[in-house]
Amino acid sequence: MRATTTHPSQFVDIRSANTDTRNEIPPHDEDEIEKPDLAPQRQDAFGDEETAEVKYKILKWWQGGLLMVAETISLGILSLPAAVAGLGLVPALIVLIGLGLLATYTGYIIGQFKWRYPHISSMADAGEVLMGRFGRELFGTAQLLFLIFIMASHILTFTVAMNVITKHGTCTLVFGVVGMILSCFLSLPRTLANVSWLSLVSFISILSAVIITMVALGVENPGAVVQPFIETNLVTGFMSAANIAFSYVSHNTFFTFMAELENPRDFPKALALLQTVDMTLYIIASVVIYRYAGSSVESPALGSASPLVSRIAYGIALPTIVIAGVINSHVAAKSIYIRVFAGTDRMHKRDWVAVSSWVGIAIAPWIVAWIIAMAIPVFSSMLTLITALFGSWFTFIFTGIFGLHLNQNMWFSSPRKMLLTFLNTLAICVGLILCGLGLYSAGKSIHDNPSDASFSCANNA
């Protein structure tokens, strides 16, 4: 039987035609969000999947949470100990906990925005709600670029890991190609439910690598000195703060994860799982590794231990380095795939056109990501640049705007609304600061390191 889908541009009357209760707006505090008008609402991108060959909306909340954990707790945690060394223990913990709490709030705002507008499956859809066709193109293009830059950072980290493991056994460009090919292969599943099982492997991988590094450093350097406060300059200090922010900038994928949940109202459970795990692990790993590695801690942090332990840790961390990039690539490919085939039954088919199109769409972003990774071979500079260009907008600025939009005309109507308005405005201000100073810091860092040549066979470990 032929599968049917509903194009996002088709409308149904939610008072009678929309019987899919998974996409209804959940009960909420009436004082928190303005009641939606009983006006025609768009269906989600996947439509009715009852008879579809390929079903997307089958993701359990814990699977969504694992995906979010695997995507978030990857490269960010490897940069945190060096960020602590760049700021000092006390300021770094304040920034780490403060940004974590703010990221939790802005993540919940994304959930509310999805409940208010059930058709949203990407940042492009959210941009259209705010600014029409222009917003759709702006948000969609920015999200795609953001995801490709994150994919590039994973290829770059793969080359660093392979250089450490093999003692620079071959040209770094070759390692980059190997990482790209492996990532392309793992990006072929078309549904997040299938990818979610890889996320468990990813989390176990990074957790094991970090624990090994912490134990080894504790044995090797029991007398290291911790500095609660240090003197720093604008570039070093702000790059450290931006690298801390990078560990939370996964919000651009949340709409896509929610779109494939069996019940989008379960998103707060997935968000709570993510934020509980990542903040706990971030604090423990950054403090312990900095405690025993001291001011000479490396970025990525796995290189701070002895050469043998570093090779072991990087070997164990390879699944995370690859899989977390694959999850981002899936979101990038899915946004293009929906854009191309929405409104047809091709999205739910397994014929050669659907399969070959997905393969081509999944591989193309990896080629672009490889080029970027080889052009910017400095790990910390890459993370700062990504945070400034994209993470600041999708995690803080846009989400703050979403919050203001949800409560428009009620910003100062009650003490609760005034608090929400303050939090939304704070998120926007934090994002703007990260964007402006982050771009300056990343640019100056790249300029001041001319020895880190682009497209070079040199050892970047």
Residues with Cβ within 8 Å of residue 23, at least 6 apart in sequence: 43, 44, 118, 264
The answer to whether residues 82 and 287 touch, using CB atoms and an 8 Å cutoff, is no
Q: Any idea how long the chain is?
A: 461
* Per-residue pLDDT, 25: 41
| Per-residue pLDDT tens digits for 136-192 | 999 999 999 999 999 999 999 999 999 999 999 999 999 999 999 999 999 998 888
* Per-residue pLDDT, 27: 43
* Per-residue pLDDT, 43: 65
Domain with residues 63-118+132-447, CATH architecture: Up-down Bundle (1.20)
Task: Kindly state the helix (H) or strand (E) to which residue 334 belongs, with its residue range.
Answer: helix 307-341
Please give the Cα distance from 12 to 42 (Å, whole number): 6
Taking phi over 0 as left and psi of -120 to 50 as alpha, with beta for the rest, 88 belongs to left
Residues with Cβ within 8 Å of residue 193, at least 6 apart in sequence: 56, 58, 59, 63, 260
Taking phi over 0 as left and psi of -120 to 50 as alpha, with beta for the rest, 342 belongs to beta
Q: Which residues of the chain have pLDDT under 50?
A: 1-40
* Per-residue pLDDT, 170: 92
* Per-residue pLDDT, 57: 84
Please give the Cα distance from 450 to 6 (Å, whole number): 52
* Per-residue pLDDT, 140: 93
The answer to whether residues 203 and 319 touch, using CB atoms and an 8 Å cutoff, is no
* Residue (of 252, 266, 251, 335) closest to 45 by Cα position: 335
The answer to whether residues 257 and 67 touch, using CB atoms and an 8 Å cutoff, is yes
Domain boundaries, the chain: 63-118+132-447
